[in-house]
Amino acid sequence: MTTDPRWGDVERFLTGTLVTEDAVLAGIRERTAAAGLRPIEVSATDGALLSLWCRLIGARRVLEIGTLGGYSATWFARAVGETGRVTTLEVDHRAAVVAQENWREAGVADRVEVLVGPAAVTLRSLVADGGDPYDLVFIDADKQNNPVYLQAALALTRPGSLIVIDNVVRGGRIVEDTDDPDVIGTRRVLEMLGSDPRLQVTAVQTVSSKGWDGFAVAYVLGQG
């Protein structure tokens, strides 16, 4: 895995200088790790970027796929404001319980809901329910299902919505010849993004304390 210790040094400097994660967010990170969940939540600078995007588009309804301890969902909950709603999907019941405790501590429990179960199944029922479209969808769960999640995200959004996919570079593995289902799922979702005339897309490579990775972002132009 390619890493450089300066990536973490710079991340800590930028976080301290620009973002200053407050005690609530730091507490979420700590309780997530203490509960034995993997420490793979987004960085504070990434959380701030997700929040900025919400504010830029005036997002009121956010859908997240992959909750973990509720760290990124808390950034979203703060960004959508008191009258906004965040729905987040998680397969691990234990993680969902930790996340709900964290949202209570953060004072945002009233605007965040976790739906427990395999996200592909939950998404099928959300599509069937035909509720109001989401303004922003953040895809950050099992990477092999990324194509399924994008398909659902397209059905659950409207022109002007944003779709963001985390972890699309994975230390450069994305361009390796491999049969890793996570890599195949992510490469496939990038191909889907790049060939869909309803979307304006790009991806950004990132380096941080967690190594070399990146995210893709898609703006929904129209219904095709």
Other Cβ atoms within 10 Å of 163 Cβ, number = 25
Q: Tell me the residue nearest to ligand DHB as measured from the CB.
A: 40
User: Residues 15, 146, 167, 208: which binds ligand DHB (CB under 6 A)?
Assistant: 167
Q: Return the residues of window 129-188 that contact Mg ion according to CB under 5 A.
A: 140, 166-167
From the list Mg ion, ligand DHB, ligand SAH, none, partner contacted by residue 135 (C-beta under 5 to 8 A by kind): none
Structure tokens at 45: 């600078």
Instruction: For the chain, give the longest Cα–Cα distance.
Output: 48
Burial class (CB within 10 angstroms; exposed 0-12, middle 13-18, buried 19+) of 13: exposed
Q: How far is the CB of 30 from ligand SAH (least distance, A)?
A: 13
Q: How far is the CB of 179 from ligand DHB (least distance, A)?
A: 17
Other Cβ atoms within 10 Å of 68 Cβ, number = 27
Q: Return the residues of window 27-86 that contact ligand SAH according to CB under 6 A.
A: 40-42, 64, 66-68, 71-72
User: Residues 37, 40, 57, 120: which binds ligand DHB (CB under 6 A)?
Assistant: 40
Q: Hey, what long-range contacts does 34-40 have (CB within 8 A, 24 or more apart)? A: 35/69, 35/94, 35/95, 35/98, 37/68, 37/69, 37/92, 37/94, 37/95, 37/98, 38/68, 40/68, 40/210
* Residue 141 near ligand SAH by CB under 6 A: yes
Q: What are phi and psi of 100, to 5 degrees?
A: -65, -40
Q: How far is the CB of 113 from ligand DHB (least distance, A)?
A: 20
CA distance 29 to 23: 10
User: Among all chains, which residue has been given the structure tokens 């203490």?
Assistant: 34
Q: How far is the CB of 34 from ligand DHB (least distance, A)?
A: 19
CB nearer to ligand SAH: pick between 89 and 220: 89
* Residue 11 near ligand DHB by CB under 6 A: no
* Residue 108 near ligand SAH by CB under 6 A: no
Q: What residue ranges bind ligand DHB (CB under 6 A)?
A: 40, 140, 166-167
